[in-house]
Structures are given as C-alpha cells and as structure tokens.
Amino acid sequence: MSYIDRLKEAYDSVPQEDLDLLYNTLCCESEYMNPALFFGNGGSAAVANHVVTDLVKGLAEDSDTHCFEALSLCSNVPLITAIANDLGYDKVFSKQMEYLNFPDAIAVAVSSSGNSPNVLEGLKYARSKGYITVALVGFEGGEVLKQGLADVLIHVKADNYGIVEDCHMAILHELAQRLRTSYADDPSSLKL
C-alpha cells in the first residue's frame, strides 16, 4: 500500500463526529475569547506552531470583528530551555500554563504517541485549572487515552509517525479553514 493510501486510510479512521466536536469546541471557546494553548514535541511542536499561525493570522485577515487567541507553548525556546534545565523537561508546558495564569483556556496537545511526559503533565495541569482539554494522538492513543486526559480526543489509528503527523496537520488545516470560513466577512474572497 502506498504512503498516500495509508494516509487516506488513517485520516478516514477519525470519525466525522469527533472532527465536528473539535470544531464546535474551538468555535465556542473563541466566542468567549478563551485562548487556545497548543503544545507538542518534535514534529508535533511544528504542527502546533503552524496551526497557531493559521488561526491567528488567518482569522485576523479575514474578519474585522473576530480574532482567535491562540498561543503555541512550543515557540519560546529560551523559556522552554530554562524550564527544562531548572525544573525538568516534563514541566515545559505545565509551567508555561502556570506562569500565563489564564482564568479559562483550552489546552490542545498534539502527540503522535500520546505518551510524552511533558504532554501528559500539560494536560494534567490544564485539567487542574478547569481548562477544556483536547488531544490529537495516534498509534494506540498512549497514556492520554488510557488516563482519559482529553475532553475532546482525535485519535488517528495509524502506527507510523509521518502518517500520524500528516493527518494531525490535515485535521488542523481543515479546522482552521472551517473557522476562517465561518467568521470571514466575505467567505467567497478567501484564499484557502
């Protein structure tokens, strides 16, 4: 089976109702102006950074009345390395949430394995603050699935990192485009 065939099969493993729940959750939270905090490791960090760009710039360019507050907890390398050095790498996301101290937020973890200690700590901290938690995972779902750490779980059933990461990126591109279309002043003029 080709890579593209495997990619399509993996993407199709995600139920449409889960994708709709992800969209509705982020749409609702953006209405309340609650920030979305994205985080992940390695390729998943790149996915988190990328979607934040799409959400923030895209919605700001498309609408005079709506913006989307999103931050990537993967983008501040000096802060990440300071936390990792002084407190441990497992704290790089949870400590940023603690320092930012938003009263309400949505924590969006991207993790192919669902097992990264810093992702688990981030989701646990978010839960302790009463934040809505979202996770995009692959493989068997890992500890994120086992421990039930996500209010909204997007599980790509594939066992290849590239395929899982590509699916996560496609899912988040779809999400960003749906949000942009929903809030655009003139949806017909969008360059998606």
User: pLDDT tens-digit profile of 77-129?
Assistant: 999 999 999 999 999 999 999 999 999 999 999 999 999 999 999 999 999 99
According to the model, what pLDDT value does residue 109 have?
98
- Give the confidence band of 10 by pLDDT, cuts at 50, 70, 90: very high
According to the model, what pLDDT value does residue 137 have?
98
Q: Where is average pLDDT lowest: 32-46, 109-123, 127-141?
A: 32-46
Q: Kindly tell me the burial class for residue 161, based on how many C-beta atoms sit within 10 Å of its own C-beta (0-12, 13-18, 19 or more).
A: middle
Per residue in 52-91, pLDDT (tens digit) is: 998 888 776 766 666 678 999 999 999 999 999 999 999 9
Q: Would the pLDDT of 28 be above 80?
A: no
According to the model, what pLDDT value does residue 176 have?
87
Q: Would the pLDDT of 153 be above 80?
A: yes
Percent of the chain with pLDDT over 90: 78
According to the model, what pLDDT value does residue 68 have?
74
- Give the confidence band of 21 by pLDDT, cuts at 50, 70, 90: very high
In the predicted model, what is the mean pLDDT of residues 128-146? Answer: 98
User: CB–CB of 169/44 below 8 Å?
Assistant: no
Compute CA distances 125 → 63, 122, 133, whole Å: 33, 5, 10
